[in-house]
């Protein structure tokens, strides 16, 4: 029976950067994010005569996938089967699957799609095999992690972690929910300054993390303090504490990226200008808002309801930028 799932990206407050196993995407340290309510991706998994991946854009047109993208799906499905083997579900996935991806992520918006795509694929696979094996959300998050580490967190709505876990086994890291999407209404106003595709993807980027002289200290700080501070800030809905730890962690990740060999520069002059401007505005207007950036120049401005209209006006006043509005959302689900 075909199975269709829907999912969305997430925005990390404590960033996942660097692995203890590149192939299995086992993270070096824990991370934490808020799952967003849009843009959505839908994926259908069904039996076919031969393995194929088809991808459709927001306007319904078919996107020709690069050979390396199709290979990534093939590799991820093989890893997923390897994990399913450990759960006693050998041969649950046939080699001849048709994967149909329908993305509602506007092409002009520089939002990373891998978290949405691989959480969606994991959920669709869970639906596809459910007569043979029922998976828990934790197990589905492990399937998602095999496609993209951050994808594990989008299995849950609201606020969730990617746990560091332990060991070198395929199931050795998973996601856990801290609070659901009804706990705290936070908005993410996304300001996209440039459309150029990032030069080094996060998969290759993770492998460089340990070449930075600041990486060991980063891992230590997250393990000993930052992850806990972030969890507490979310539980208590303490926006100031969330702002402090999120911005500290974001700037630290970019410092690690910029000091790795070779260096990775994801932020550009526009990013820095927007960050300086929002800092000035929040001091002047006592605005509750925090900034954070992933592996690209896009600035995420996260704020509670009371900051939303001022942050939106600020965002729309940024010349040449595309604005995308999103907020905390419910996570991956099956739609058929
Ligand atoms: O899931 P990946 O391999 O695309 O890595 C995500 C990396 C960051 O977006 C920079 C941080 C994060 O935790 O989402």
Query: What CATH number is given to the structural domain containing 247?
Result: 3.30.70.890
CA distance 283 to 273: 16
46 and 163 part of one domain: yes
If you measure from the C-alpha of residue 282 to the centroid of ligand 1, how many angstroms do you get, rounded to a whole number? Answer: 27
Give a yes or no: residue 335 inside a domain: no
pLDDT tens per residue, range 119-152: 999 999 999 999 999 999 999 999 999 999 999 9
180 and 191 part of one domain: no
Provide the pLDDT confidence category of residue 82 given band limits of 50, 70 and 90. very high
pLDDT tens per residue, range 185-240: 999 999 999 766 667 889 999 999 999 999 999 999 999 999 999 999 999 999 99
If you measure from the C-alpha of residue 209 to the centroid of ligand 1, how many angstroms do you get, rounded to a whole number? Answer: 12
pLDDT for res 111: 67
246 and 282 part of one domain: yes
208 and 112 part of one domain: no
202 Cβ closer than 6 Å to some ligand 1 atom:
yes
15 Cβ closer than 6 Å to some ligand 1 atom:
yes
Give a yes or no: residue 296 inside a domain: yes
pLDDT for res 112: 67
Q: Is a pLDDT exceeding 60 seen at residue 64? A: yes
310 and 207 part of one domain: yes
Mutate to test the pocket of ligand 1, among 14, 17, 75, 118 (most ligand atoms within 8 A of CB): 17
214 and 174 part of one domain: no
Domain C-terminal end among 150, 168, 184: 184
Q: Where is pLDDT greater, at 111 or 274?
A: 274
113 Cβ closer than 6 Å to some ligand 1 atom:
no
Domain C-terminal end among 184, 206, 227: 184
Give a yes or no: residue 230 inside a domain: yes
Taking the model in full, what pTM does it have? 0.97
249 Cβ closer than 6 Å to some ligand 1 atom:
no
Give a yes or no: residue 235 inside a domain: yes
pLDDT for res 3: 98
170 and 201 part of one domain: no
184 Cβ closer than 6 Å to some ligand 1 atom:
no
What domain range is 144 assigned to?
3-184
62 and 177 part of one domain: yes
Give a yes or no: residue 299 inside a domain: yes
Closest residue (by CA) to atom 9 of ligand 1? 294
- Parallel, antiparallel, or unpaired for β 97-103 and 52-56? parallel
Mutate to test the pocket of ligand 1, among 18, 112, 245, 254 (most ligand atoms within 8 A of CB): 112
Q: What percent of the chain has pLDDT over 90?
A: 91
If you measure from the C-alpha of residue 114 to the centroid of ligand 1, how many angstroms do you get, rounded to a whole number? Answer: 9
Beta partners for 160? 33, 177
176 and 291 part of one domain: no
DSSP state of 14: E
Mutate to test the pocket of ligand 1, among 9, 143, 295, 298 (most ligand atoms within 8 A of CB): 295
Give a yes or no: residue 336 inside a domain: no
| Overall number of domains in the chain | 2
Give a yes or no: residue 332 inside a domain: no
pLDDT tens per residue, range 157-188: 999 999 999 999 999 999 999 999 999 999 99
Q: Is a pLDDT exceeding 60 seen at residue 108? A: no
13 and 97 part of one domain: yes
pLDDT mean over 272-297: 96
165 and 247 part of one domain: no
pLDDT mean over 29-57: 97
Domain C-terminal end among 169, 184, 199: 184
pLDDT for res 306: 97
Weakest mean pLDDT among 15-24, 159-168, 192-201, 270-279: 192-201
Give a yes or no: residue 298 inside a domain: yes
pLDDT mean over 246-268: 97
DSSP state of 328: B
154 and 214 part of one domain: no
Q: What percent of the chain has pLDDT over 70?
A: 97
pLDDT for res 113: 86
- What is the H or E stretch that residue 114 is in? helix 114-128
Mutate to test the pocket of ligand 1, among 294, 296, 297, 299 (most ligand atoms within 8 A of CB): 294
Provide the pLDDT confidence category of residue 59 given band limits of 50, 70 and 90. confident
């Amino acid at each position: 029976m075909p199975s269709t799932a829907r999912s969305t990206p997430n925005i990390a407050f404590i960033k996942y950067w660097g692995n203890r196993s590149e192939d299995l995407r086992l993270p070096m340290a824990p991370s934490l994010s808020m799952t967003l309510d849009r843009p959505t991706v839908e994926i259908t998994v069904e039996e076919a005569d031969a393995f194929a991946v088809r991808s459709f854009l927001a306007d319904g047109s078919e996107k020709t996938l690069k050979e390396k993208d199709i290979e990534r799906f093939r590799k991820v499905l093989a890893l997923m089967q390897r994990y399913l083997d450990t759960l006693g579900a050998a041969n649950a996935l046939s080699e001849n699957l048709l994967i149909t991806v329908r993305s509602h992520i506007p092409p002009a918006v520089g939002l990373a799609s891998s978290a949405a795509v691989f959480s969606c694929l994991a959920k669709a696979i869970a639906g596809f095999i459910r007569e043979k094996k029922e998976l828990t959300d934790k197990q589905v998050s492990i399937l998602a992690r095999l496609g993209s580490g951050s994808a594990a967190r989008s299995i849950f709505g609201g606020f969730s972690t990617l746990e560091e876990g332990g060991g070198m086994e395929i199931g050795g890291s998973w996601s856990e929910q801290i609070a659901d999407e009804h706990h705290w209404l936070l908005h993410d106003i996304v300001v996209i300054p440039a459309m150029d595709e990032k030069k080094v993807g996060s998969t290759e980027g993770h492998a460089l993390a340990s070449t930075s002289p600041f990486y060991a200290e980063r891992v230590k700080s997250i393990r000993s303090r930052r992850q806990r501070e972030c969890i507490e800030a979310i539980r208590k809905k303490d926006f100031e504490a969330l702002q402090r730890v999120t911005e500290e962690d974001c700037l630290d990740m970019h410092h690690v990226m910029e000091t790795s060999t070779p260096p990775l520069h994801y932020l550009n002059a526009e990013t820095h200008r927007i960050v300086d401007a929002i800092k000035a505005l929040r001091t002047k207007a006592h605005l509750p808002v925090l900034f954070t950036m992933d592996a690209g120049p896009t600035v995420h401005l996260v704020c509670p309801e009371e900051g939303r209209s001022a942050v939106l006006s600020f965002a729309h006043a940024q010349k040449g930028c595309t604005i995308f509005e999103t907020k905390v959302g419910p996570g991956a689900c099956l739609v058929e």
